[in-house]
């Protein structure tokens, strides 16, 4: 609609002349002052924590599935006397102790811990390997390091840069020559944030746009696979990885209205 309005009002060109004339296309692009940006995101690393009613409902449905299932043949899946079998029996005892219906209807159950488990030939036993469980709250969360990718592990983070005007925006810049949108977006990201990031852009078309008074920016969606942003002090003076809520408080209200529909709620 934007390109069509420019065609008709500024150039008086029909659809046929626009599609066949390279000069007309360049004129439209120049009049629109199109820019290309990247909506670069880091996906959640851990699942979102559930609390309250949602957590209790999830626990109930898991239990309901458990009591409705056929008896699990542990002899087939676990080596007798192994640590894996012992852990499974402990979990089974925990599940057996739970009952969400009337207490009078609870069936009698026998603890599996009291069973004698013998090993196979040679009485071989597996060695329990200690598994270190890392906390969901990282050092970056505790220190408030917004430049770290190891923060807000259960949320989607987006790359914001502070441009030459001191405004927080997604990495973006002008199209050069006959560049197509996705090529310009990747080049602008590299020019602004350096070459130390490995990224993957999704498709060739934009996921949204922002219309300013003097230009229109079209955004290509991308995912960071490795590395880190290292912006130069010419095109960007600072950067941070922000959640949706943090983006709302950082960018202008007009910018937020345009980019909000492109952002994940997780």
Q: Kindly state the tokens that stand for 147.
A: 């430049």
CA 42 to chain centre: 5
Residues 6+ apart with CB under 8 A from 239: 147, 159, 160, 161, 162, 193, 229, 231
pLDDT of residue 14: 37
Rounded alpha-carbon distances, angstroms, from residue 250 to 87, 103, 160, 166, 240: 48, 54, 9, 11, 10
How far apart are the C-alpha atoms of 55 and 50, rounded to whole Å?
5
Distances (CA, A) of 10 to 14, 29, 90, 136, 217: 12, 12, 75, 55, 20
pLDDT of residue 168: 97
Cα–Cα distance, 62 to 171 (Å, whole number): 44
Q: Give me the pLDDT at residue 248, please.
A: 97
Q: pLDDT at position 32, please?
A: 58
pLDDT of residue 167: 95
Q: How far apart are CA 249 and CA 3, in angstroms?
A: 31
Q: What share of the chain is helix, strand, coil (3-state, %, to 5)?
A: 40, 15, 45
User: How confident is the model at residue 5, as a pLDDT?
Assistant: 42
Q: Give the up-direction half-sphere exposure of residue 105: CA atoms within 13 A in the CB hemisphere.
A: 5
Q: The dihedral of CA 146, 147, 150, 152: what is its sign?
A: positive
| Closest alpha carbon to 147 in 27, 54, 139, 248 | 139
What's the CATH class of domain 33-46+137-262? alpha beta
State the pLDDT at residue 246: 97
Give the chain's largest Cα–Cα span. 90
Token pair of 79 as six digits: 């080596």
Q: Mean pLDDT for each consecutive 10-residue tract of the chain (266 residues)?
A: 41 36 49 86 91 87 83 80 82 78 68 53 47 85 96 96 95 91 95 95 93 93 96 92 97 96 93
The DSSP code sequence of 169-215 is: E-SEEE--TT--HHHHHHHHHHHHH-S-EEEEE--SS-SEEEE-SS-
Ramachandran sector of residue 81 (left: φ over 0; alpha: ψ -120 to 50; beta: rest): left
**Are 85 and 45 within 8 A, CB to CB?**
no
Instruction: Please tell me the predicted confidence (pLDDT) of residue 133.
Output: 78
Q: Judge if pTM exceeds 0.75.
A: no
Where do the CATH 3.90.79.10 domains begin and end in the chain? 33-46+137-262
Is the CB of residue 193 less than 8 Å from the CB of residue 200?
no
């Amino acid at each position: 609609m934007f390109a069509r309005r420019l065609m008709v009002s500024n150039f008086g060109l029909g659809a046929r002349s626009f599609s066949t004339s390279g000069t007309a296309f360049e004129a439209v692009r120049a009049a629109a002052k199109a820019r290309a940006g990247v909506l670069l995101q880091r996906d959640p690393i851990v699942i979102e924590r559930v609390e309250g009613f949602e957590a209790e409902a999830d626990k109930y449905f898991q239990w309901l599935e458990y009591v409705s299932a056929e008896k699990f043949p542990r002899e087939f899946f676990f080596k007798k006397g192994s640590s894996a079998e012992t852990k499974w029996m402990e979990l089974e005892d925990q599940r057996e102790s739970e009952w969400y219906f009337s207490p009078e209807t609870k069936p009698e159950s026998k603890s599996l811990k009291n069973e004698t488990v013998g090993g196979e030939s040679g009485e071989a036993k597996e060695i329990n390997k200690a598994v270190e469980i890392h906390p969901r709250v990282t050092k970056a969360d505790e220190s408030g390091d917004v430049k770290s990718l190891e923060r807000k592990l259960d949320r989607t983070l987006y790359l914001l840069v502070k441009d030459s005007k001191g405004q927080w925006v997604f990495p973006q810049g002008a199209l050069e020559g006959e560049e197509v949108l996705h090529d310009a977006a990747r080049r602008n990201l590299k020019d602004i944030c350096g070459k130390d990031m490995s990224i993957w852009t999704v498709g060739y078309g934009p996921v949204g746009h922002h219309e300013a008074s003097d230009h229109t920016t079209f955004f290509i969606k991308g995912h960071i696979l490795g590395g880190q942003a290292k912006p130069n002090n010419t095109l960007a003076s600072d950067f941070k990885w922000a959640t949706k809520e943090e983006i709302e408080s950082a960018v202008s209200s007009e910018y937020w209205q345009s980019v909000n529909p492109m952002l994940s709620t997780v």
